[in-house]
Amino acid sequence: MNPRRRLSGGGRGDTVFKALLFLAASTIPALLIALVIELTRGARQAIDRFGAGFIFGSGWDPVAGTFGAWPAVFGTLLTSALALLLAVPLALGVAIYLTEFAPMRIRRPVATMIELLAAIPSVVYGLWGIFVMIPFLRTWVYPVLEARLGFLPFFAGPVYGPSVLSASLILTVMIIPFIMSVSREVLLAVPPGQREAALALGATRWEAVSTVIVPYAKSGILGAVILGLGRALGETMAVTMLIGNRHEIAASLFAPGYSMAAVIANEFADAAGGPLHESALIYLALILFGVTVIVNGAARLMIWRVARRGGAT
């Protein structure tokens, strides 16, 4: 090959190559567009019938042909919110400990172990939830909660095993590794100068973390949390196996409930209520998709902003 000829860097090979790669890359936005189009198309019948009121309608009655998504939507929001509430302190605690305080030797191994939690398939979480977690909770924890806090509507009986609370707890375990690993990356990106300056000024190790490092990484951590939320919203199998499958909102956390993904998983193959039922399920999928896109998009923007800031300085 004649080097002089090729130095210009152009040539047909390059154009073809770039075109092929471009084509490959374009499949990804195309996939997103395809999802939007097909979900909307499938949901068309339900959208025409129920409109936006579908989201807030209650009562899911395949026999009568009325479908209201609110119990499923609410269940999704409730279980995800509860899971976040419990997971964020734990995940952040782990992330901070592993970046700031842990002995050097154990940092990588422990981080890897917790990240292994993310590798466990959802259905295996469900299996463990049904046969280990729920029996344990139902024997040792729930009765105590009901006895002590039963005066609150949130802990009123009857105590089913599968319930909103059980689903929230398994979700907590499932999202901890995500929040932790992203937070850890964000914390590692904080310039060491910040910590050193705080310590030089006389802060204790904890104060250095709480007053300087965490505030610096604030928006990245927020991004990690929102990422965890996105994950919780879409979790399907473990929730289906633990939530009790009931299209109803009850005050008690011990009561069964439903989530959008669980409804689809249970009912899509059936859609015994005919094409309208099927369309309503796709409508549900569309809502779920929309919510997760927004949440994940917001999370990514936040993390991207911190990464840019941290790297630039």
Partner 1 sequence: MMDPRARRRAKSRVMVALMGVTVVVAMLPLILILASLVLRGAQSLSPEFFVNRPAPVGELGGGVAHAILGTLMIVGTAALVAVPVGIAAGLYASEYRGTRMAQLTRFVADVLNGTPSIVVGILAWTWVVAVQGHFSAAAGSFALGLLMLPMVMRTTEELIKLVPNELRESALALGYPRWRTTFVVLRTALPGIVTGTLLAVARVSGETAPLLFTALGSEYFSFDLDRPMAALPLVVFKYATGPYPEWHQLAWTASLVLILVVFLLGVAARLATRQRL
Partner 2 sequence: MLNRESKRGVLRAALVAVAATSLVACGDKDTVQLTGAGATFPYPIYSKWFDAFYNETGHQVNYQSIGSGAGVKQFTEGTVDFGATDGPMTDEEIAAVGGAVVHLPTVLGADVVTWNLPSLGETQLRFDGATLADIFLGKIKRWDDPRLAALNPGVALPSLDILVVHRADGSGTTFIWTDYLSTVSPEWSAKIGRGKSVNWPTGVGGKGNEGVTQQVKQVEGTIGYVELIYASANGLPYGAIKNRSGQFVLPTLESVSAAAAGVDLAADTDFRVSIVDAAGADAYPVASFTWLLVRPDMADAAKARAIRDFLRWMTRPEAAAMAAELHYAPLPKSVADLVAARIETLTAGGAPIADGR
Q: Does 207 bind partner 1 (CB under 8 A)?
A: yes
- Nearer of residues 84 and 282 to partner 1, judged by Cβ: 282
What are the φ/ψ torsions at residue 60 (nearest 5 degrees)?
-120, 95
Report d(CA 49, CA 46) in Å as an integer. 5
Q: Does 211 bind partner 1 (CB under 8 A)?
A: no
Partners of 61 in the β-ladder = 66
Collapsing DSSP to helix, strand or coil, 21 comes out as helix
> Is residue 241 close enough to count as binding partner 1 by CB under 8 A?
yes
C-alpha to C-alpha distance for 122 and 242, rounded to whole angstroms: 11
Residues 46-65 that bind partner 2 (CB under 8 A): 59-64
Among 68, 126, 220, 244, binds partner 1 (CB under 8 A): 126
- Nearest Cα to Cα of residue 263 among 276, 278, 250, 251: 278
Rounded to a whole number of angstroms, the minimum distance from the CB of residue 147 to partner 2 is 14
Indicate the residue among 41 and 147 with the shorter CB distance to partner 1.
41
- The answer to whether 72 and 59 have CB atoms below 8 angstroms apart is no
Q: Using the rule CB under 8 A, give the single segment among 80-88, 121-129, 156-164, 293-301 that binds partner 2.
A: 156-164
Stretch that binds partner 2, among 10-18, 106-114, 155-163, 185-193 (CB under 8 A): 155-163
Q: 105 touches which of partner 1, partner 2, none (CB within 5 to 8 A by kind)?
A: none
Of residues 158-197, those binding partner 2 (CB under 8 A): 158, 160-162
Q: Which residues contact 268 (CB under 8 A, 6 or more apart)?
A: 278, 281
Residue 47 or 117 having the CB closest to partner 1: 117
Residue (of 245, 230, 253) closest to 158 by Cα position: 253
CB 202 within 8 Å of CB 294: no
Binding partner of 17, given partner 2, partner 1, none, CB within 5-8 angstroms per partner class? partner 1
Cβ–Cβ contacts within 10 Å for residue 35, how many? 14
Residues in region 240-269 near partner 2 by CB under 8 A? 244-246, 256, 266-267, 269
Compute the distance between CA of residue 183 and CA of residue 187 in angstroms, rounded to an integer.
Answer: 6
The residue count for binding partner 1 (CB under 8 A) is 93
DSSP 132-157: IIHHHIIIIIHHHHHHHHTTSGGG-S
- Return the one option of partner 1, partner 2, none that residue 162 interacts with (CB less than 5 to 8 A, by type): partner 2
* 140 binding partner 2? (CB under 8 A): no
Binding letters toward partner 1, positions 59-88, x by CB under 8 A = ------------------------------
Q: Considering only CA atoms, which of 165, 188, 27, 40 is closest in space to residue 102?
A: 188
What secondary structure letter does DSSP report for 253?
A: T
Number of DSSP helices (H) and strands (E) in the chain, helices first: 15, 2
Place of tokens 């990514």: 300
The footprint of partner 1 on residues 264-293 (CB under 8 A) is 264-265, 268-269, 282, 285, 288-289, 292-293
Contact 285, 306 (CB under 8 A): no
Binding test (CB under 8 A) with partner 1, winner from 51, 89, 274, 275:
89
**Partner from partner 1, partner 2, none binding residue 21, C-beta < 5-8 Å depending on class:** partner 1
**Residue 143 in the binding site for partner 1 (CB under 8 A):** no
Binding site for partner 2 (CB under 8 A): 59-64, 130, 134-135, 138, 157-158, 160-162, 244-246, 256, 266-267, 269-274
